[in-house]
Amino acid sequence: MLIARSLPILLALTLVPACGPVIELPEDDTSSSGEATTGPVTTASPSTTSTSTVSTSTSTTTSSSSGSTDDVVDDTGAPFIIEPDGGGCIVSGDDPWHCSFCDLFAQDCPPGEKCMPWANDGGNEWNRTRCSPIDDDPGQPGDECTVEGSGVSGIDDCDLGVMCWDVDPDTKVGTCVAMCTGDEVFPMCRSEQDRCLIANDGWLVLCLPTCDPLVPDVCAVGEACTAVNEHPMCIPSEGVVVPLCSAAVCNPSEACVGGDTLATCMEPECCTPWCDLNAADPDALCAAEPMHSCQPYYGPGEAPVGLEHLGVCHLAA
């Protein structure tokens, strides 16, 4: 019966505090046979992109043969709030209540809220996502911003799809920076000068400008020009967990490249020095390995503006 199938969802919604605005369930479409049909209920969580391990919640949906949803819970038994478009989020936290495990690319939070990375364990590394309220007068990329609590709280006064970055731990002040759009396979940034940083097992997706690892002190104090997702960016020494090179942790003067391009690497990847294609002697930094020479880091036409000279030491193609 329709009433029997709908009762668990109604009970779940009655027992769970609201997340953001009150969300109405869509009315069932009733076919001529009198059976209700609903669309699938899904949630999205980031895939892993680093060597550290993060457990993500998955949903379990029990459906009848007619396609209607009988019950929707996460792997801890916590009920979902069902949104009219078939999406959803998990209610968690004590004070205030909020939705967690939202999708940073999709920005699938209720109206008036935004999906944000945060540290749900009280630590200093972004390791989950949550829906947070959007400020009444939100900041845009480049604007000064303020966070609530700490730089990893997930609560700031920047706009939808924008987060407060490079936050001073004492003043709680940082700069609004746009998050990536698109998806994890084809991430995009608003500015052509920015590249998408995907770090912390996918819980952080941020558009940052590239940096030149050959320029001394190119990054602020506490940051290092590190190649992440192929592009060198100024990455803070704390909070951001980047994919590790399989052989070692590369220092700022080195890049992580495929082991098949190096003479003595026995791992899938190894560290090798950066070099300057425009230097008087481009191979000078490659002298430690005689078989290596300074080769372009980027393919033809792929280098960001200002990094056309960037090379790495490895075997000639």
- Residues 75-81, mean pLDDT to the nearest whole number: 39
- Cα(34)–Cα(68) distance, rounded to whole angstroms? 12
| Domains held by the chain: number | 2
Q: Is residue 157 part of a domain?
A: no
Q: Which domain holds residue 34?
A: 2-135
Q: Let me know if residue 129 belongs to a domain.
A: yes
The answer on pLDDT for 43 being more than 60 is no
Q: Which residue has the tokens 């992109």?
A: 49
Would you say residue 182 lies in a domain? no
In a domain? residue 115: yes
Tokens of 62: 């029990």
Half-sphere exposure of 168 (CA within 13 A, CB side): 9
* 212 located within any domain: no
CB-based contacts of 15, cutoff 8 Å, min separation 6: 79
What is the chain's mean pLDDT, rounded?
A: 75
CA 308 – CA 211 distance, rounded (Å):
12
**210-251 confidence digits (pLDDT tens):** 999 999 899 988 899 998 878 999 998 888 988 788 867 788
pLDDT score recorded for residue 89: 55
- Is 103's pLDDT higher than 70? yes
Given a cut of 80, is residue 112 above it in pLDDT? yes
Lowest mean pLDDT among 41-55, 85-99, 108-122, 185-199: 41-55
Q: Which of 104, 135, 166 is the last residue of a domain?
A: 135
Residue 194 lies in a domain: no
Residue 105 resides in a domain: yes
Element (H, E) at 10: helix 2-15
Q: Does the residue 79 lie in any domain?
A: yes
Given 87, 103, 135, the domain boundary residue is: 135
Structure confidence at residue 35 as a pLDDT band (50, 70, 90): very low
Whole-model pTM? 0.67
Domain boundary (135, 151, 169) is at 135
d(CA 75, CA 300): 47
Residues 130-168 have pLDDT tens digits of 999 999 999 999 999 999 999 999 999 999 999 999 999
Section 42-59 average pLDDT: 32
pLDDT of the residue at 242 = 82
Tell me the percentage of the chain whose pLDDT exceeds 90.
54
Q: What is the pLDDT of residues 7-29, one digit of tens each?
A: 333 333 333 333 443 333 334 34
